[in-house]
Chain A
């Protein structure tokens, strides 16, 4: 097919829509009152399904009008159309520009002059090319801005921060990766935006103690503060801990914090609920205990990749009676430490021990036997645990909803039968790279709420197990069958039939999967991600079926699918207008297919390694067309 025929096809498509619109002019929906329609719209908006709202507005002219009147939040595809869009939607208060990579000062000024003081929230985290003067339009014209996301604006300097400081009503501000903003800019923000409740300064590596200290001094309403990767020391921490209503403090990889400094802090923050000090290797249990002293409301504690969890360390933390969740990923955990955790007065709901070295059956048993309320357990890569742990775990923690146990290679296949028997509320199960077999899967299929199942590299799993899953787990939304070499079309078809809510499926390197599977999967209308890398049997025919059926497809990986050619791309270009990311390395796609893909407006990421049919000219024209 040429690009001309493609255009024709699209025109036809548009014509169909128009016809639909015309025919609905005389529909009986006109009689509905505005309130009812608004209620419908609200409930539609809750589904986060942009398509349903779109089709609603296309029902009739009055619906179109009412929808545009009622809409509060907008996520435009192209910034060029913004002025017209904003004319249509007159009550927009939240503007998400993450799909507009190019937002220049002119766009910002037109947005601000159209939205005026209605605008409450603007997200510029994925946009570039605007400067501080563009921001100043937004800030001055939209005086009630409450939320600004300026993450990844690596070119913004302190002058931009000074502009932001003029937004007196600002409550939430993200400045992630604004690497040029220094203490001076942050100081301006601190003085200007006194109502700040949330501030993220992650990776603002020019911000030091002084700026953060001033923030803590001036913004007394702060609830949430992210200071990850900042070169801060305990000097600013003392003023942060004095904040009266701070609930959320993230200090990932603040390497300037150490025990000696933290020990000088005299008091903790009483209102603190969530604390993340992962990747702070120099913070030991002494420093931690001194700066969490008095934080009795603590609910979440993340100590990943930090100090080793010994009995002493665990004892230091035992006073948080409200503690619900603790993450010790990557820490060295001793048996005594785990026993001490088991004896905490708090009843843990979530425990993460992923990649911890030193987790043994004895230790894990001592935890799970006392912490019966546990709902989420992550024991990824705890290679020393065996059937015994799983046995005691499933027996005591019957309300488990999430179990991640990737690569627990010593756990025998009988253990998985226990999981299915004892944990009926399981929603998420990750048993990648385990000994699980069809018997285990059959048992697990009794967990009717299961929505995420990962059985990658489980070579013992065959169609039989998958069929039982498909029969009973109707809630399944995510299925990972990576390198499950025993899986064929039969299994995939059963899942596709039994799990209509499937959103993500991974059949990578399942070399027995053929077009039939894809045709069955096209029944899952909500499918968003299909990863079929290394399935040499699937072809453009299967892809056409997927493209036709799964209109919401946003992510597609067909690397190493040699049989897919340009016609598959053309069908994608026709139907998958939501596609954002595609990997077609090693496929048989040529210039034509690429040019067709270029017409997909949302496409952001395209991997085209080793496309032998692709010429430089074709790539250039595809890039120009997109």
Chain B
């Protein structure tokens, strides 16, 4: 519950800050990239505004990115006849909204209108096609379905945000009165695709962006959820997920926009900086606590309170791109798979494109670039005692036996501490009989043909000095020369599989099935 609580609070804070920052953002719309980088290096800007900049910079990119998506753009050029219906539906909202900000409202509505027409046309098109070509392949059908759901998602987001901006006072009282419902709704939106009206109502105030029941969105939500569960040990700011979703109006049509952080930003240890002394923090709340030391004006309840997310701005989905060229998570990649949150970006970048600097203190073999991965591994280190001759380790014996039953020639490998005592006397007898040439052969006999364990054992056998067997570090695999070369990639692979279990394997099924796995390989 704690986690959800925080998420709710943070999303609130963000929408609030976004609302405050809106004018500033509008003016700073055309800032250049370089200036942004400078700001980043100086570390003097408040983080939320930095992120705002980031968002402002993006609009050219999404347009650029969305052009290859042929079907959608194609549909967007077709105008539908149902305009009047839409308008009549929207009218009451429209009137009230004009009291707030008519221009923005109009923008919103016209966008919505366009969107709905596009969707209508698309459906028309699909219906027509289906009539002609009966034997349509399933793949195409699902593609179309995805397209529709994506568009629907976008429309619903818009609707919610527009409606939300109409009723700021009501929204405020409701949310403060029922924080539990808000949490519940948030939880529901994270774990399950929200289906009922309650969730819809509540989420409307919290974070419209994460609420939508579109299919692609579901996938991303669950993935996000999974990662959060996996790496809960690491500090992360869920507010990053929903940050500054306030400029959907000017966006090109599309269900999400793509953001790309720079490498330095990804690797920066802190994301919140004190404007006075420049100290960095990982959490906004910590920064606020810190700020109290700078004077009484920061001790007021208003300054200490969580920034209210009172934004009337629409939330458009944010997706992130990895700055590493050629990566599948990079937006220039052919099969680009966006990352859901900044946290995902950070973890992905560290895991995939950075050195592994954290070594497990127990096994001294496995290395990690994300400290949470190390902590997760350390919980299970030494428990993966079931070893196949191919070098793959398993935490459960039945998994090992399933693996062996599946593959020809793989055998269960003995744990290293068991092969040793047996090799010791054989070595002795060898010496007794002065048949030294035999030794490699006999050793290889204990493994199975042509596999990792045999290699390992052979290497052991090749060690001339029998004293090596008696060294105190005997059971440490590191001690054996050549151990590193062979089995480690497979160790890593298995580790990847097990440390990233459900989200990658199950929920990411449609396009990213293998991607999450390959992501964690190196």
Contact = CB atoms under 8 A, between A and B. Distances in A.
B446 A159 contact: yes
Interface residues of A, number: 32
Contacts of B414: 158-159, 162, 184-185, 188
Contacts of A184: 412-414
A191 B397 contact: no
A214 B398 CA distance: 10
Nearest to B387: A184
Interface string B392-418: 000001100100110001111110001
Interface string A561-573: 0000000000000
Interface string A164-198: 01100000000000000001110110011000000
Contacts of B401: 183, 187, 210-211, 213-214
A576 interface: no
B409 A191 contact: yes
B432 A159 contact: no
A132 interface: yes
Contacts of A192: 411, 448
A105 B445 contact: no
A213 B398 CA distance: 10
Contacts of B404: 187, 191, 214
A133 B425 contact: yes
Contact of B446 (A131, A137, A163, A183): A163
A75 interface: no
B419 interface: yes
B426 interface: yes
Given A105-B429, A165-B411, A191-B411, A136 B448 contact: no
The dominant DSSP class at the A interface is helix
B230 interface: no
A158 B441 contact: no
B433 interface: yes
B144 interface: no
Contacts of B175: none
A132 B426 CA distance: 8
Interface string A76-115: 0000000000000000000000000000011001000000
Contacts of B441: 140
Contact of A109 (B412, B433, B446): B433
A183 B412 contact: yes
B510 interface: no
A133 B426 contact: yes
Contacts of A109: 429, 433
B519 interface: no
Nearest to B423: A133
Contact of A214 (B405, B425, B447): B405
Nearest to B447: A162
Interface string A107-139: 001000000000000000000000111101101
A159 B401 CA distance: 17
A405 B397 CA distance: 50
Interface centre among B412, B421, B432, B433, by most A CB within 10 Å? B412
Interface residues of B, number: 27
B384 to A, nearest CB: 14
B169 interface: no
A217 interface: yes
A160 B411 contact: no
Contacts of A106: 429, 432-433
B507 interface: no
B27 interface: no
Given A133-B422, A214-B401, A214-B405, A187 B412 contact: yes
A157 B411 CA distance: 16
A493 B436 CA distance: 66
Contact of A165 (B398, B442, B448): B448
Interface centre among B397, B426, B447, by most A CB within 10 Å? B426
Nearest to B422: A159
A154 to B, nearest CB: 16
A185 to B, nearest CB: 8
A160 B425 contact: no
Contacts of B429: 105-106, 109, 133-134
Nearest to A235: B398
Interface in B422-446: 422-423, 425-426, 429, 432-433, 441-442, 445-446
Given A131-B422, A131-B425, A191 B410 contact: yes
Contacts of B445: 136, 139-140, 163, 166
B420 to A, nearest CB: 9
Contacts of A183: 397, 401, 412
A174 to B, nearest CB: 21
A105 to B, nearest CB: 5
A188 to B, nearest CB: 5
B343 to A, nearest CB: 39
Nearest to B397: A210
B87 to A, nearest CB: 64
Interface centre among A134, A140, A185, A210, by most B CB within 10 Å? A210
Interface centre among A160, A185, A188, A211, by most B CB within 10 Å? A188
Contacts of A163: 422, 445-446
Nearest to B388: A187
B419 A188 contact: no
A105 B410 CA distance: 28
Interface string B469-489: 000000000000000000000
Contacts of A157: 418, 422
Interface string A314-347: 0000000000000000000000000000000000
B422 A188 contact: no
A400 to B, nearest CB: 49
B499 to A, nearest CB: 24
B345 to A, nearest CB: 42
Nearest to A183: B397
Interface string A141-167: 000000000000000011110110110
Nearest to A211: B401
Interface centre among B419, B429, B432, B447, by most A CB within 10 Å? B429
Contacts of B433: 106, 109
A17 B149 CA distance: 103
A160 B421 CA distance: 11
A281 B55 CA distance: 73
Nearest to A160: B422
A192 B444 CA distance: 13
Contacts of B413: 184
A104 to B, nearest CB: 9
Contacts of B405: 213-214, 217-218
A136 B412 contact: no
Contact of B448 (A131, A140, A160, A188): A188
B425 A136 contact: no
Interface in A467-504: none
A218 B448 CA distance: 15
B425 A159 contact: no
Nearest to B385: A184
A210 B422 CA distance: 24
A221 B445 CA distance: 23
A336 B187 CA distance: 65
Contact of A132 (B409, B410, B422): B422
Nearest to A156: B422
Contacts of A132: 422, 426, 446
A235 B448 CA distance: 27
By Cβ-Cβ distance, the 6 closest A-B pairs, closest first, are A133-B426, A159-B422, A187-B412, A191-B411, A210-B401, A184-B412
6 contacts: A106-B429, A165-B448, A166-B446, A213-B401, A213-B405, A214-B401
Interface of A: 105-106, 109, 131-134, 136-137, 139-140, 157-160, 162-163, 165-166, 183-185, 187-188, 191-192, 210-211, 213-214, 217-218
Interface of B: 397-398, 401, 404-405, 409-414, 418-419, 421-423, 425-426, 429, 432-433, 441-442, 445-448
Given A109-B433, A133-B423, A159-B419, 4 more contacts: A106-B432, A140-B442, A183-B412, A187-B412
